[in-house]
Amino acid sequence: ETHYLITLIIKENEQSKDDNCPICIDTFTDQVKLQCGHGFCRECLKHSEKSMGKICSVCKKIYGKLRGNQPKGKMTYITYRSDLPGYYGCGTIEISYDIPSGTQTDEHPNPGERFYGAQRHAYLPNNAEGNEVLQLLQRAFDQRLIFTVGTSTTTGADNTVTWNDIHHKTSKTGGPQNYGYPDSDYLKRVKDELKAKGIE
C-alpha cells in the first residue's frame, strides 16, 4: 500500500510538472509547443524571445531563424596568394567588416545614445573548408549575429561595436593566443559555434 501511495505521488508530481510552464512555473496559459517538444505560455515565450532570441529556454535548441541586434554595416572579402601558417598552397581570404557609428535602437543597451562603429579584418584559408566557413559567416552577418553593441572587452569602452560570440582569426600569424594561425581545429570550432546558432 505504501508503494502504491509513493507511485501515486510521483505521478501527480509528474503530471503537475507537465502542466506548468517552465518559465513562469504556473499552469499554462495559451500553451505553445516548440519543435523540441517543450511547451510554454504564449506570453512567456514572447518575453523569452526578446531576451534570448529564438532559443528554447529548457534545452537551448534554436527554433525558427535566429536574428541578432548587429547594427547595419558591410561585409566584403578579397583573396590573395600568400598562405596562412598551417595552410600552405591555398592562399588567403581576408574578410573586411565595416560597421559605421550610429544611434542605438530599442534592441541595444542604451536606446537613443550614440555608439562607436568598428572596422575589423579576419582571415581564412582559401581552401574548400575556408570557403564553406566564409559562406556561413556571410549568413551569420546577414542575420545580424557577428557584432553587437556593448562594452569592449579589450578597451573597456562603453557604447561600442563589439564582436559577438562567433570567433574570428584577426591575425594571420601568432597562433591561437594571438587570434592567429596556425590553429588546426579553428575551422571546426567556428563551424560548431555557427551550428549552435542554427547556421550550417
Categorise residue 93: left if φ over 0, alpha if ψ from -120 to 50, beta otherwise: beta
pLDDT digits over 17-50, tens only? 568 999 999 999 899 998 888 999 999 998 888 7
Question: In whole angstroms, how far apart are CA 189 and each of 92, 130, 166, 195, 196?
Answer: 19, 12, 9, 10, 11
pTM score of the predicted model: 0.76
CA distance 152 to 149: 9
* Residue 137 exposed, middle or buried by CB count within 10 Å (0-12, 13-18, 19+): buried
Residue with cell 582559401: 126
DSSP state of 109: S
CATH code: domain 74-195 is 3.30.390.130
List, by residue range, all CATH 3.30.40.10 domains of the chain.
2-52
Q: Does domain 2-52 have CATH number 3.40.50.1370?
A: no
Reference 151, options 113, 197, 194; nearest CA is 113
Asked if residue 101 lies in contact with residue 117, where contact means CB atoms within 8 angstroms, the answer is yes
CA distance 66 to 198: 7
pLDDT digits over 55-113, tens only? 888 988 888 788 899 999 999 999 999 999 999 999 999 999 999 999 999 999 999 99
CA distance 134 to 147: 16
List, by residue range, all CATH 3.30.390.130 domains of the chain.
74-195
